[in-house]
Structure formats: structure tokens, C-alpha cells
Amino acid sequence: MEAKAIKRYIQSSPTKMRLVADLIRGKSVNEALNILHFSTKHASKVVEMTLRSAVSNLSNKLDSGRVEEKELLVKTIFVDGGPVLKRMMPAPQGRAYRIRKRSNHLTIVVAEKEAK
């Protein structure tokens, strides 16, 4: 069984978010939460909230309603680019520089570990 959580319109560049997403891809949920909790990156807080939401979605989906974080793993995690806000900044000699304020969408899928 697997569950998905999507967080959209995060005000951070997709490149910065992918650095954090690469840290937890394929790891168990318990280990991933520890990595995210002690990471100094700003994006780790958003990823941690979304991961907790995915775990909650899985527990709501199951009949028992109880799920162990040790038995779950981060199956897939990916970051897509979102809309870009275009702003202008004054520059010398009457010119203007364009500033692109990027955003992204985060998708996390958690699944139960398969018994071997």
C-alpha cells in the first residue's frame, strides 16, 4: 500500500529543494525524518511537513489506522518547477534587471516495505 502527499507553490527555487529531496530518496521514513529534522537547509522544514502528511495519508488509508514509521520507506520524491514571478530591479543608467522569483511543487510517495 502506498500514499502520496503534494505541496504546491513553495516559495523556493526547485534546485534548492532538490538538494534536500536527494538526501532522503529511498530511505526509511524514520531515518528520513531524522535527516530532515537536523538539516540546516530551509527547504528541509517543508519536506519534513510534507513527509509527515504522506505518512498520515497512509494511516488514514489503511483499515487498522495504525502504521509504524520503521516499516515505511520513501518510494519516490520529486520536485517540479512552479510558476515564476517576474520582478524588475533598478539598474544603472536607467536600465532594469529582471528578477525571477521561482517556486516549486513537491510530491512525496511513501510505501510499506516488502517482506522478503
Domain assignments of the chain as residue spans, ordered by start: 2-112
- Comparison of pLDDT for 93 and 114, the residue scoring more: 93
Separation between Cα atoms, residue 17 and residue 20, nearest integer Å: 5
pLDDT in tens, 63-112: 887 888 889 999 999 999 999 999 999 999 999 999 999 999 999 999 99
CB atoms within 10 A of CB 30: 13
- Comparison of pLDDT for 9 and 113, the residue scoring more: 9
How are strands ordered across the β-sheet holding 72-81?
Answer: 2-10, 104-112, 72-81
pLDDT at 30 over 70: yes
Report whether 107 contacts 4 (CB < 8 A): yes
Separation between Cα atoms, residue 43 and residue 19, nearest integer Å: 9
Distance from chain centroid for Cα 66: 23
Average pLDDT over residues 38-60: 96
The answer to whether the pTM exceeds 0.85 is yes
DSSP character string of 59-100: HHHSSS----GGGEEEEEEEEEE---EEEEEE-GGG-EEEEE
pLDDT at 32 over 90: yes
Q: Which class would CATH give 2-112? A: alpha beta
Average pLDDT over residues 9-15: 97
